Structure 1
Amino acid sequence: MTTNVAIVDERDPLLHYTGSWQDAGSAEEFNGTTRYSTTQGSTVSFTFVGTSISVFGTVAKEPPPQASMEFMIDNSIQGTYTSPSDLTADVHHETLYTSPALSSGTHTLVITQTTALAAPVIYLDYIMYNPTSTDVGQYFIDDRDPRIQYDPPWTFFGSDLDFQHTSQVSPSMGASFTLQFDGA
């Protein structure tokens, strides 16, 4: 059975920001937008009904100091992300956090900027989660989803510029893909 994945842009009104956050973005990012904070203690929270959640962003190639974020689910610290110190280029669609399996139900994710910085390093781009509710604004279907049938088989390709670092390339003219789904 394939699990549906909901996607939430960092500008979605379901995300609640406190502290100092600034808008940014480039063509490589989901919807061409991101948000960042250089202020220690700034937070963003998101309440969802689901069984897992992941946070993605852009990490800038910046000289030290490194930046870090803390991830809390239901008032319990679940993880941290610290930017690598050896990047040679900006990295887009970087996984900043992935939760463990969660009980089916309502959960709240809180992301906290834990370092004070002179320049932005970690940019929040989007959140993906496995919903257990049908009240979801937007679903994400990756090119690797088994519900997609490629005819003839396509070639896997991926780079930092591709969403989720993956894409498929058709082998010839006339190649096609099919996705079966319920909905309008």
Structure 2
Amino acid sequence: MSHILIDDQDLSRVTYNGTWIRGGSALEHESTVASSTVVGDSFTVDFNGTSIVVYGTIDVTSEGVITSYAVDSALPAQITSQGGPGDTFNQQFWKSPTLSVGEHTLKVQMLKVNPDPTPGEGTIWFDYFLATDPTIRSTTTTNPTAVEPFIIGTTEDDSEARTPSRTLHSHSELISLTRSKTFHERPQPQSSATGSSSTTSNVATPEALNDTIVAGKRQATTTCWQPVSTGNANPLVTGAPENPEPVQHVDSGVRTISSQVIDSPARPVAVELPPVYSPV
């Protein structure tokens, strides 16, 4: 059994509809998250497997935000978010029931957001999705050069490890957002030499990743907060011990939005050349 991690910015699998804002910090996967403060905005995630789990970040303004989750033609499940005194990472927003083996589509829609005078607040931040595929038993990975979901936990004994995604492509109306906080640089994972391949024995273990992430965290100045009903933090991503308290930093409550819009790559334009005449 394998787990496939799909980042919020893997636009080969995630399709946004509406006005979605891109933000992020060093303690979020690939330092990116996606959010919307517009009721009715939605996105879909295409995945292969028998289940999918949605993870993200909440803060004090997330209290009472309502979202719906549905796979394929199933009835949507409505989830009401909790809030905390500061940003709380790696929170499980929703987990699907067991599905048939094969391709599926998850749809997530914003049903209620909180009015807030600060742009970008009053919502929740989607970070990544974890799909379970029982058909994958082992894999060989190379340095990624194209958009692909990364497989974690692909050893024969089903032990779980993490290979972070490095996918980022332009799509839909995503606006660059920078939070007004200071973070340490996120430690980069070790990679093999260009062109070489490695088996899952070279994939970083959760314990090793935990040591790397903890080394890069700045010390929190407030007590960590455990949400009531948003679910457990994902142990596959940070290598946290059993029943961990989520990492939290002081939230200034201020985020600024720049006007930078991520455009799709420009398509090449065909150039029409004048005709060439040969002498008779």
| TM-score using structure 2 length | 0.49
What letter matches 1:146 in structure 2? S
Over the residues paired in the alignment, what is the CA RMSD in angstroms? Answer: 3.3
Taking the aligned partners of 2:135 and 2:62, their CA distance within structure 1 comes to: 43
Separation (CA, whole Å) in 1 of partners of 2:47 and 2:159: 25
**Mapping 1:111-150, distance limit 5 Å:** 111-118=108-115, 119-131=121-133, 137-141=149-153, 146=159
Give the match for residue 10 of structure 2: 12
CA distance in structure 2 between the partners assigned to 1:101 and 1:93 by the alignment: 22
* Residue 108 (structure 1) aligns with: 105
2:30 is paired with a residue of what secondary structure?
helix
Rounded to whole Å, the distance in 1 between the matches of 2:94 and 2:21 is 21
Higher strand share: 1
List gaps (5 residues or longer) in structure 1. Answer: 169-184
Q: Who is 1:167 aligned against?
A: 240
SS of 2:112 mapped into structure 1: coil
Q: How many residues align?
A: 157
Instruction: Tell me if structure 2 keeps the 8 A contact 1:36–1:120.
Output: no
Structure 2: runs of 5 or more not aligned = 116-120, 140-147, 162-200, 202-206, 215-223, 225-232, 242-280
Deviation string 1:36-74 (CA, Å, 9 cap, x unpaired) is: 00000111101222101000000112275x211100111
Whether the 8 Å contact between 2:62 and 2:81 is mirrored in structure 1 is no
Letter in 2 for 1:121: T
Residues 1:22 and 2:21 are matched in the alignment: yes
* Equivalent residue letter for 1:33: T
Structure 2 matches for 1:32-181, cutoff 5 A? 32-62=31-61, 66-85=64-83, 87-118=84-115, 119-131=121-133, 137-141=149-153, 146=159, 164=237, 166-167=239-240
- Cα deviations by residue, 1:61-94 (Å, 9 ceiling, x for unpaired): 2275x21110011122342321115x23321010
| Contact persistence 2:10–2:149 (CA under 8 A) | no
CA 1:120 to 1:35, structure 2 compared with 1: closer, same or farther past 3 Å?
A: farther
| Matched-pair identity in % | 24
| Alpha-carbon separation, structure 1, partners of 2:134 and 2:150 | 14
User: 1:127-169 CA distances to partner (integer Å, 9 max, x unpaired)?
Assistant: 0101356696311249xx63679xxxx8x99987x8745337x
The answer to whether the 8 Å contact 1:60/1:91 transfers is: yes
In the alignment, the residues of structure 1 paired with residue 43 and residue 124 of structure 2 have an alpha-carbon distance, to the nearest angstrom, of 13
Shift >6 Å, 4+ stretches: 156-160
**Could you say which structure has the greater relative contact order, defined with CA pairs below 8 angstroms and 6 or more residues apart?**
1
8 A contact 2:8–2:127 mirrored in 1: yes
* 1:99-127 superposed Cα distances (whole Å, 9 cap, x missing partner): 11101112110000111433242100000
Whichever of the two has the greater Rg, that structure is 2
Higher helix share: 2
- Aligned partner of 1:80: which letter? Q
